[in-house]
Amino acid sequence: MHKVAIVGRPNVGKSSLFNRLIGRREAVVADFPGVTRDVKEGVMLYENHRIVLMDTGGLWSGDEWEAPIREKAEMAMEDALAVIFVCDPREGLSAADYEVADWLRRLNLPVVLVANKIDSLKHDVYLAELWGLGFGEPLPVSAEHARGLDDLMDRVVSHLPEDDEDVSEIAPIRISLIGRPNVGKSSLLNAITGSERVIVADQPGTTRDSVDVDFDYAGQRFVLVDTAGIRKRPDSAIEEYAMMRSEAAIKRSDIIWLVVNAGELGDHELKLANLAYDSGKPVIVVVNKWDLVPDEEIKRTTRDLDIKLNHIHFAPRAYTSAINDYGIHDMLAEAMKLYAKWQSRIATADLNRMLEIWQVKQRVPNFNGKPLKMYFMTQVETAPPNFVIFCNRADFVTRAYENFLLNRIREDLDLPGIPVKLTWREKGPYKGKKSKTKEEEVQK
């Protein structure tokens, strides 16, 4: 796959064009500048090319984010084979446009100059000024109305070699880092990848959109997703939308890293964990900034974590420090282990053998001399595992007995920390009369 970067000054429609080209709303779009700060990637197919588009932050913004945004854009350019330079001619060229043009000339990459927000032919009169940037004929496009996109991509692929790269058959494990603002999610992602892929700052709310980063570890492909910090109550419309994008990232993920600060735990972390488990995804609690805990306070801090995280005691933990890379390998190893169990399938013969043992260990419920009869157990789905037990009367299943079975599933079938669904189906003369379905999450 070949990488193509989209650059330009703030608020010229780079993210809108990015979303339109990849065919989905991946990047946050707003009417004010400075929304995009990190480099966001998305894959698109055009003719015989698989292209990785990179949406960069607004260059020469004139604010405190100007230097880190340009640094991330320059890192993106190291892998790019072509650049889409986006301008808004209806507003006229600014000093920032000329600064971006000079910067691109020094990079010596093929540049496709794009005049965005040209919604109709009558707006083509705005194109004349763009010739002065020195990149040849500007292409009129409209990201909002999908005008001129084929001409744009024809120009882009003319600068790309034929795409004969074999796509890896190893499916990546998609992991999302979630947590409240400023707990160190971006620092952890940079520590894992060994590069400054995302912007890190002391102030909360630095990350304003989900950022996907490809990463290989021990022969396994990962897609690490740095999400915006999720607040209890968003302070603005852009934070509210960013929170929605974080929740969407959870649904698309295979594993969730819930990043917490040992000294700042509360109900918010529990709600985030429940949000992840409700989606059927395994959760690993990542206790970050562990290096800041003094040695004499470790035992007490661990006890506090046990108490405050008792609601999610089933989730495995990794104690980490993004500063000195402590615990980084534990995060990845635990994720690989949970992913394998989440995808696992247990043979029907083994399930029914265990079902017989469980019935011997614990007497089945009995109502007025009529016992619950369990005939058969099988697994019908993976990721998360879904088990079905066929019985004579689903309404005979008590909460206590169901909890007993759930505990046996997690312990005897070696599925600690994995959300598991348990469904009851009636078989026999009572089938369809009082059937019920129960879905429970099983955790460690």
34 is in an annotated binding site: no
Q: Do residues 258 and 273 touch, judged by C-beta distance below 8 A?
A: yes
**Which neighbouring-strand residues pair with 215?**
222
201 is in an annotated binding site: no
CA-based nearest residue to 111, from 131, 77, 82: 82
207 is in an annotated binding site: no
317 is in an annotated binding site: no
56 is in an annotated binding site: yes
CA-based nearest residue to 4, from 101, 164, 112, 100: 112
15 is in an annotated binding site: yes
Helix (H) or strand (E) holding 222: strand 220-226
134 is in an annotated binding site: no
List of long-range contacts for 291-299, beta carbons under 8 Å, 24+ apart: 291/321, 291/323, 291/324, 291/326, 292/262, 292/263, 292/321, 293/262
170 is in an annotated binding site: no
361 is in an annotated binding site: no
65 is in an annotated binding site: no
List of long-range contacts for 403-406, beta carbons under 8 Å, 24+ apart: 404/358, 404/362, 405/358, 406/440, 406/442
88 is in an annotated binding site: no
164 is in an annotated binding site: no
Q: Do residues 111 and 85 touch, judged by C-beta distance below 8 A?
A: yes
CA-based nearest residue to 283, from 291, 294, 274: 274
174 is in an annotated binding site: no
**CA 178-61-129 angle, 5° bins:** 130
182 is in an annotated binding site: yes
57 is in an annotated binding site: yes
289 is in an annotated binding site: yes
288 is in an annotated binding site: yes
178 is in an annotated binding site: no
185 is in an annotated binding site: yes
Burial class (CB within 10 angstroms; exposed 0-12, middle 13-18, buried 19+) of 163: middle
27 is in an annotated binding site: no
183 is in an annotated binding site: yes
219 is in an annotated binding site: no
166 is in an annotated binding site: no
9 is in an annotated binding site: yes
320 is in an annotated binding site: no
Pure H helices in 12-53? 14-22
Q: Tell me how long the chain is.
A: 444
Burial class (CB within 10 angstroms; exposed 0-12, middle 13-18, buried 19+) of 144: middle
369 is in an annotated binding site: no
Indicate the DSSP class of residue 33: S
Annotated binding site for GTP: 8-15, 55-59, 116-119, 179-186, 226-230, 288-291
Annotated binding site: 8-15, 55-59, 116-119, 179-186, 226-230, 288-291
